[in-house]
């Protein structure tokens, strides 16, 4: 793995020390890209001299007055490397920053961003004992939206896979194209999670020429307000920001009662749709309910399993609600979808699922919860069904044999994690991501469907260490068992 270290250049006074902090890294797995952006004469001379040395891992560009966001965008577009590490021209990296960050992400391949700690240094490079300006803690959410948009700072390592799924660095022209750092983090965490590495890997230089000094407090607040509102619109959250200074509060806007014509159905199939009896049965049932054929999306399972199929199917959809269905599901009550939609509306739920029985009349999934090992399990699994668990309650997780979700939930959490191979873990992970962002996950045991078989291969061994490591810091999401009411 290679880290692309990217530095827009404006000032020459500390630039040599900045570059040296890269050259002396304990790991050689880096490439350095520098863009002179109409900076001072000293910085240009340093870069011209460096260019003559023809270091194989260093690339230098000369442009005029693009602004910080455009400079970062240019560097990321033209650089190589699996990860992107932004470095300012007056700051320095800890000697083992690249090594520590690469080791961290190798163990956490699901990470979209890895953020480390920093210390302040003065103009001469001495550590300054000053309180950190921004918190170093997991982000906070309300109804799916970030409340503490200020909760970030260098150093942070960006996974290029997820960066390429965004529109890239962008800033505000009236603020000299600043705001790009907060903006890219907001966009990235809609694709993959932020992870924290509890080590000092960056030294941030306090000096009177810092660009942030020109922004001032009210300027920062204005940028944060804009970025929060832009994120709400991008995700499609039915929210309104209700205060002017972060941490923000959000009010849910009223939504119309959902109807069947607002749902896209995504159904992975083992066989081709035309030859699959189960697919044809479901197609007939849904069209008889009045579901338009262009709202029914069959996705043939390929490499990547159910999660990849769900993600591919989602990208074919356009409607505000998505229902993920196992092809083996039998829906015997023609009113069940209307009932689930009514419950979803009454309870203001974002993700909802019914009780699932076997064809023999046993409980497959009811009031799902997590056991003491934090694994997804079902209440009454294997019991003969006698109408138990027929209530509505908040759910810890829901199985994907029948999973109805609002589009904005998928937009906010990045879909299903394709690093997991079995359906219970994939769907549990999806629900955990939704609940972490404060979406409401609801079990609707008043509705019942039948599923002939589980939607995964029981012979496949799940890599549970990945699952446990991913959720190790969020024990509160697993606490409490739903009980019969």
Cβ 37 vs Cβ 64: under 8 Å: yes
Cβ 115 vs Cβ 194: under 8 Å: yes
What Å distances lie between residue 214 and 5, 88, 209, CA to CA? 25, 16, 9
CA distance 197 to 88: 20
pLDDT tens sequence across 398-429: 999 999 999 999 999 999 999 988 889 999 99
- Transcribe 330-399 into DSSP letters: E---TTHHHHHHHHHHHTT-SEEEEEEE-TTSBEEESS-EE-TTS-EE-TTTTPBPSSTT-SEEE-S---
pLDDT tens sequence across 448-457: 999 976 544 4
Torsion over CA: 432, 435, 436, 437 (sign): positive
What does DSSP assign to residue 35? E
- Predicted local confidence at residue 272, as pLDDT: 80
Domain identity same for 71 and 154: yes
Q: Alpha helices, DSSP H only, in 8-96?
A: 15-23, 41-53, 68-78
- Predicted local confidence at residue 455, as pLDDT: 46
Count of alpha carbons within 13 angstroms of residue 193, beta-carbon side: 25
Measured N-to-C along each axis, helices 180-188 and 212-235 cross at an angle, to the nearest 10 degrees, of: 30
Domain identity same for 178 and 274: no
Domain boundary among 190, 217, 244: 217
Two tokens, residue 448: 């019942």
- Predicted local confidence at residue 218, as pLDDT: 87
pLDDT tens sequence across 102-147: 999 999 999 999 999 999 999 999 999 989 999 999 999 999 999 9
pLDDT-above-90 percentage for the chain: 82
CA distance 241 to 255: 16
Tell me whether residue 234 is in a domain.
no
Tell me the residue range of the domain where 378 lies. Answer: 260-477
User: Band of the pLDDT at 481, cuts 50, 70, 90?
Assistant: low
- Predicted local confidence at residue 212, as pLDDT: 64
Tell me whether residue 341 is in a domain.
yes
How many domains does one find in the chain?
A: 2
Two tokens, residue 422: 């079995």
**Interior CA angle at 150 toward 146 and 154, to 5°?**
120
- Predicted local confidence at residue 483, as pLDDT: 43
Measured N-to-C along each axis, helices 68-78 and 180-188 cross at an angle, to the nearest 10 degrees, of: 50
- What's the chain's average pLDDT? 92
User: Band of the pLDDT at 461, cuts 50, 70, 90?
Assistant: low
- Predicted local confidence at residue 213, as pLDDT: 60
Domain identity same for 183 and 278: no
Domain identity same for 194 and 302: no
Domain boundary among 187, 217, 247: 217
pLDDT of 484 higher than 60: no
Mean pLDDT of 353-364: 94
Tell me whether residue 247 is in a domain.
no
- Predicted local confidence at residue 459, as pLDDT: 45
Domain identity same for 161 and 294: no
Q: For residue 169, how many other CB atoms are within 10 A of its CB?
A: 26
Cβ-Cβ contacts under 8 Å for 463 (sequence gap 6 or more): 419, 420, 421
pLDDT-above-70 percentage for the chain: 95
Cβ 413 vs Cβ 307: under 8 Å: no
CA distance 264 to 342: 17
CA distance 317 to 324: 11
Domain identity same for 187 and 321: no
pLDDT tens sequence across 181-237: 999 999 999 999 999 999 999 999 998 777 666 667 888 999 999 999 999 999 999
pLDDT tens sequence across 279-304: 899 999 999 999 999 999 999 887 66
Count of alpha carbons within 13 angstroms of residue 337, beta-carbon side: 28
Cβ-Cβ contacts under 8 Å for 207 (sequence gap 6 or more): 13, 14, 90, 122, 123
Tell me whether residue 253 is in a domain.
no
Domain boundary among 217, 251, 273: 217
Domain identity same for 66 and 185: yes
CA distance 241 to 231: 11
Tell me whether residue 250 is in a domain.
no
Q: Which long-range contacts (CB under 8 A, 24 or more apart) does 382-387 make?
A: 385/357, 385/361
Q: pTM here?
A: 0.93
Domain identity same for 353 and 454: yes
CATH of the domain at 463: 3.90.550.60
Expressed in angstroms, the distance from the first to the final Cα of the chain is 52
Cβ 355 vs Cβ 445: under 8 Å: yes
pLDDT tens sequence across 383-395: 999 999 999 999 9
CA distance 414 to 464: 21
Tell me whether residue 417 is in a domain.
yes
Task: With CA atoms as reference, report the closest residue to 356 among 402, 396, 395, 320.
Answer: 402
Domain identity same for 377 and 461: yes
Domain identity same for 266 and 160: no
- Predicted local confidence at residue 271, as pLDDT: 80
Strand partners, 113: 158, 194
Tell me whether residue 283 is in a domain.
yes
Tell me whether residue 360 is in a domain.
yes
- Predicted local confidence at residue 456, as pLDDT: 46
Task: With CA atoms as reference, report the closest residue to 212 among 137, 120, 148.
Answer: 120
CA distance 19 to 30: 12
CATH of the domain at 180: 3.90.550.10
Mean pLDDT of 233-242: 97
């Amino acid at each position: 793995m290679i880290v692309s270290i990217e530095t827009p250049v404006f000032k020459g006074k500390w630039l040599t020390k900045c570059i040296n902090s890269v050259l002396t890294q304990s790991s050689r797995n880096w490439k350095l890209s520098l863009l002179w952006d109409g900076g001072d004469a000293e910085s240009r001379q340093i870069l011209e001299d460096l260019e003559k040395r023809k270091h194989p891992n260093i690339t230098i560009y000369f442009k005029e007055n693009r602004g910080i966001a455009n400079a970062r965008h240019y560097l990321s577009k033209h650089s190589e490397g699996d990860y992107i590490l932004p470095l300012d021209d007056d700051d320095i990296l800890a000697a083992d920053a690249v090594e520590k960050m690469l080791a961290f992400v190798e163990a956490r391949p699901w990470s979209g961003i890895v953020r480390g700690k920093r210390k302040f240094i003065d103009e001469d490079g001495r550590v300054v004992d000053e309180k950190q300006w921004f918190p170093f803690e997991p982000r906070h959410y309300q109804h799916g939206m970030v409340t503490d948009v200020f909760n970030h700072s260098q150093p942070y390592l960006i996974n290029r896979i997820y960066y390429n799924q965004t529109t890239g660095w962008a800033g505000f022209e009236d603020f000299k194209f600043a705001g790009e750092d907060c903006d890219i983090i907001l966009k990235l965490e809609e694709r993959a999670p932020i992870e924290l590495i509890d080590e000092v890997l960056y030294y941030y230089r306090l000096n009177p020429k810092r660009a942030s000094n020109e922004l001032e407090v009210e300027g920062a607040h204005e940028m944060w307000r804009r970025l929060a509102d832009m994120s709400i619109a991008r995700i499609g959250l039915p929210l309104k920001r209700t205060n002017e200074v972060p941490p923000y509060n959000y009010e849910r806007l009223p939504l119309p009662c959902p109807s069947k014509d607002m749902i896209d159905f995504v159904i992975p199939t083992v066989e081709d749709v035309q030859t699959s009896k189960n697919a044809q049965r479901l197609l007939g049932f849904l069209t008889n309910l009045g579901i338009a054929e262009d709202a029914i999306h069959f996705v043939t399972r390929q490499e990547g399993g159910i999660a990849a199929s769900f993600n591919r199917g989602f990208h074919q959809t356009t409607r505000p609600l998505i229902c993920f269905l196992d092809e083996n599901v039998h829906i015997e009550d023609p009113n069940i979808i209307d009932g689930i939609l009514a419950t979803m509306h009454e309870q203001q739920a974002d993700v909802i699922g019914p009780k699932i029985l076997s064809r023999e009349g046993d409980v497959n999934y009811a009031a799902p919860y997590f056991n003491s090992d934090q694994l997804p399990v079902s209440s009454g699994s294997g019991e003969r069904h006698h109408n138990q668990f027929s209530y509505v309650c908040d759910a810890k997780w829901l199985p994907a044999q029948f999973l109805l979700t609002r589009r904005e939930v998928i937009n906010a959490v990045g879909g299903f994690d394709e690093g997991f191979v079995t359906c219970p873990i994939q769907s549990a992970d999806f629900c955990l991501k939704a609940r972490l962002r404060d979406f409401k996950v609801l079990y609707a045991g008043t509705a019942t469907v039948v599923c002939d078989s589980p939607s995964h291969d029981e012979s496949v061994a799940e890599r549970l260490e990945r699952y446990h490591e991913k959720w190790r810091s969020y024990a509160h999401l697993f606490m409490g068992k739903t009980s019969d009411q």
